[in-house]
Amino acid sequence: MSKPSAIVTRRWPDECESRLKQLFDVTLNESDEPFTTDQLKSALQSCDVLMPTVTDKITADVLSVENRKANMIGNFGVGFNHIDIEKAKELGITVSNTPTVLTDCTADIAMSLILMVARRVGEGERELRANNWTGWRPTHLLGTKVTGKKLGVIGFGRIGQAVAQRAHHGFNMEILFWDPFDISSDVINNLNAKKLDTIEDICKESDFVSINCPATKETLHLMNAERFKLMKKSAFVINTARGDIIDEKALVDALNNNEIAGAGLDVFETEPNLPDELKTLENVVSFPHLGSASIETRIAMGNMAIDNSVAFFENKDLPNKVV
């Protein structure tokens, strides 16, 4: 029996690529160069399953390519806002993702951003590497204490709760959150968390605002000029979700106008491009989308994408079906 054919759009960990070779007639992207729109269309015409990742724009135009062969998209990543899900559903294309396995690593990165931007760690390292450090002194690079402060979490799902867990039990932070869905009382009690009625309330009351909600049409530019103005001048915004949840121009204005104290960012609206100010302002810590970037997590993500695809071809329920 012949193996299903698969095309993988970026390099995966070696362990995952070896497993792909065992289970599929697979075409790997040895150069690791991003696929163009035409390459994505061609891939859909020539394989049984396309395995893209979050940087691949799987638009309605791409999905509607003539003579499409693939009826399965095994996405490498938990987010799927880069895929036109409604068009996939209309065309009968199954889409899967890789949730749960990246929760801890993404929460770790959120805490790293909180600590780095509050304690001015990035500034200190740049000073030291540039040989500009003149020694310890009482007023040097004074930052903001993290322990005991109020953390407002926008989006209290798996990752939001994991960030809160670290913040509350590790740093004795008071947890405030907003989420459109009901949250288990066990979770709330464990974190001694308080649900606020609106995002505006989160902005007003929090010392740190952590964005952990999914990227949807409803959350586009959720953090905008009006909401930055509601934040304390001493507060920081942290984003490990998706870049377009923040209006980056409004963020730059808020930083330049001292409306907020700083920002810690792992994601950007038009990655890998971002406003120069988010690379040069001293009160910003910017990471190159490192949320899930641990060896263990990336291998787990690859294996989950493979498991989803194998289940599809074996006519079994997918472990992580989006549509």
**Catalytic residue status for 68:** no
* Cα–Cα distance for residue pair 227/23, rounded to 1 Å: 49
* Cα–Cα distance for residue pair 152/154, rounded to 1 Å: 7
**Catalytic residue status for 86:** no
**Catalytic residue status for 82:** no
Token representation of residue 173 = 């932070």
Catalytic residue of the set 10, 166, 227, 242:
242
Residue 39 three-state SS: helix
Q: What residues are paired with 224 via a beta bridge?
A: none
Cα distances (Å, whole numbers) of residue 37 to 40, 66, 91, 146, 209: 5, 14, 19, 44, 36
The size of the chain, in residues, is: 323
DSSP secondary structure of 249-291: HHHHHHHHTTSSSEEEES--TBTTB--THHHH-TTEEE-SS-T
Stated as kind and residue range, the H or E segment containing 126 is helix 121-129
* Cα–Cα distance for residue pair 88/215, rounded to 1 Å: 18
Nearest to 272 by CA among 282, 257, 287, 256: 287
Kind of pairing between the strands at 208-211 and 150-154 = parallel
* Cα–Cα distance for residue pair 194/253, rounded to 1 Å: 30
* Cα–Cα distance for residue pair 241/239, rounded to 1 Å: 6
Catalytic residue of the set 19, 166, 227, 289:
289
CA–chain centroid gap for 105, Å, is 11
Does a cis peptide bond (omega within 30 degrees of 0) precede residue 272? Answer: yes
Active site residues: 242, 271, 289
